């Protein structure tokens, strides 16, 4: 089968980048200088993927620790409630004193320390400082709240346009085809006409939430909510609980005592089927997390090549590849929302399936 034209272009660009990288190795730059640039790029990518207690729009001067943004509230439980502004931590450069206790940022986590900010290590080089319970409003939490409010605003406005009129107005005209697609092509085929209505609210919410959050992750704001495994875990656990608590007795019967199977096989299959119910949300969690994280890593790495290749060819090819990948990531943002919603609907359908449906 012949490859599409755009695939050929990407392959040629990749080969040119590889040739340029080989040529760069022959350059007269020192290894130390290259290594330092690569190390800075790796550090920047790692920092970009992390959540933060401070919302930073851009950095003015890295050496003098000057950033443009605003601090977020830090909420800790450490022998009582401790609330203070993240500006006291100064992007990890200062120690915050609160009620006689001292706290510092260590690899994005808040740890207890002394006035000098001492970090203690064990024999394997792991920090042993106590970590208080952290309920802080981080950058990811801010955008989760903002997207939630945006969804409430969009759907409430759309619902009002239907009062006394079956034709949507404004934003409802853009949302209605997507909602109908989720109902007619995801919910009804997988769950069935009889039960799909009670799951539509969740399916619509999770689709639009993941989609909008993924799109924000591609913006210059540096928001990477779905590449935080805690977030994808929460989304997956919602699907698991809804499946478990709305399942009928036929669903549980097929798990613990499968009908039409010899008793010995029922005993063997029961733990396997039970494990399967746990693997399903785990796969949802990992799939969303891994795809979004991989996309960000590759995109940032290609952009980083522009600072490694010191030639017009390498920088130009890096820019072209990064642009092409950015358009591909727009598709991935919607695709991951669709897959999560589709699989959730499939699990719900299995949970409410009646014996006569077989």
Q: What is the DSSP string of 116-171?
A: T----B-TTS-B-----EE----HHHHHHHHHHHHHHHHHHHHHHHTTT-SS--TH
The pLDDT of residue 174 is 84
- 3-state SS class at 84: strand
pLDDT tops 60 at residue 298: yes
Q: Could you tell me what percent of the chain has a pLDDT over 90?
A: 23
For the ranges 118-122, 127-131, 256-260, 342-346, the one whose mean pLDDT is highest: 342-346
Question: 110 and 213 in one domain?
Answer: no
Strand order, beta sheet including 73-77: 81-85, 73-77, 133-134
Higher pLDDT, 141 or 307: 141
pLDDT tops 60 at residue 14: no
Mean pLDDT confidence for 290-317: 77
pLDDT tops 90 at residue 329: no
Question: 334 and 210 in one domain?
Answer: yes
| Residue 26 falls inside a structural domain | no
Q: Which domain holds residue 124?
A: 67-137
Report CA torsion sign: 162, 177, 330, 283.
Answer: positive
| Residue 55 falls inside a structural domain | no
Q: Could you tell me what percent of the chain has a pLDDT over 70?
A: 81
Question: 266 and 125 in one domain?
Answer: no
Backbone phi and psi for residue 232, each to the nearest 5 degrees, phi listed first: -65, -30
Strands (E), the chain: 54-61, 66-71, 73-77, 81-85, 96-98, 101-106, 109-113, 133-134
pLDDT tops 70 at residue 304: yes
Question: 342 and 195 in one domain?
Answer: yes
Look at residues 212, 208, 213 and name the one whose alpha carbon lies nearest to residue 231.
213
Higher pLDDT, 108 or 284: 284
Question: 153 and 132 in one domain?
Answer: no
The pLDDT of residue 6 is 45
Parallel/antiparallel/unpaired status of strands 101-106 and 66-71? unpaired
The pLDDT of residue 310 is 67
Question: 319 and 225 in one domain?
Answer: yes
Q: What pLDDT, in 10s, does the model give residues 310-328?
A: 666 666 777 788 788 888 8
Q: What pLDDT, in 10s, does the model give residues 38-71?
A: 777 676 666 667 788 887 766 666 666 566 677 8
What band does 27 get if pLDDT is binned at 50, 70 and 90? very low
Residue with tokens 């003098």: 64
Mean pLDDT confidence for 213-219: 87
CA atoms within 13 A on the CB side of 39: 6
| Residue 48 falls inside a structural domain | no
Question: 180 and 78 in one domain?
Answer: no
| Residue 39 falls inside a structural domain | no
Residues 6 or more apart whose CB falls under 8 angstroms from that of 59 comprise 66, 67, 68
Query: How many CB atoms sit inside 10 A of residue 134's CB?
Result: 16
């Amino acid at each position: 089968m012949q490859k599409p034209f755009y695939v050929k272009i990407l392959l040629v660009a990749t080969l040119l980048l590889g040739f340029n990288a080989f040529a760069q190795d022959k350059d007269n730059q020192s290894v130390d200088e290259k290594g330092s640039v690569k190390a800075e790029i790796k550090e920047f990518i790692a920092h970009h993927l992390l959540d933060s207690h401070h919302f930073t729009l851009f950095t003015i001067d890295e050496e003098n620790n000057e950033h443009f943004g605003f601090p977020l509230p830090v909420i800790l439980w450490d022998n009582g409630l401790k609330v203070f502004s993240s500006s006291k931590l100064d992007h990890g450069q200062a120690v915050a004193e609160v009620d006689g206790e001292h706290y510092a940022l260590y690899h994005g986590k808040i740890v207890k320390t002394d006035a000098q900010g001492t970090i203690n290590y064990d024999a394997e080089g792991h920090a042993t400082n106590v970590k208080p319970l952290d309920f802080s409003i981080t950058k990811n939490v801010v955008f989760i709240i903002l997207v939630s409010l945006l969804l409430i605003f969009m759907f409430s406005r759309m619902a009002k346009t239907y009062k006394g009129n079956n034709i949507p107005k404004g934003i409802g005209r853009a949302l209605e085809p997507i909602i109908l697609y989720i109902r007619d092509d995801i919910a009804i085929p997988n769950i069935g006409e009889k039960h799909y209505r009670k799951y539509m609210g969740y399916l619509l919410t999770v689709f639009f939430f993941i989609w909008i959050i993924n799109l924000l992750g591609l913006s210059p704001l540096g928001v990477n909510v779905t590449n935080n495994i805690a977030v994808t875990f929460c989304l997956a656990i919602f699907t698991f609980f809804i499946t478990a608590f709305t399942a009928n007795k036929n669903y549980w019967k097929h798990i613990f005592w499968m009908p039409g199977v010899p008793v010995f096989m029922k005993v063997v299959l029961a733990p396997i089927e039970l494990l399967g119910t746990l693997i399903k949300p785990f796969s949802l969690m990992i799939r969303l997390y891994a795809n979004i994280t991989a996309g960000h890593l590759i995109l940032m790495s290609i952009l980083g090549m522009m600072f490694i290749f010191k030639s017009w060819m390498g920088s130009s090819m890096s820019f072209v590849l990064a642009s092409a990948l950015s358009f591909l990531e727009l598709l991935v943002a919607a695709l991951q929302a669709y897959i999560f919603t589709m699989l959730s609907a499939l699990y719900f359908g299995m949970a409410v399936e009646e014996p006569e449906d077989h």
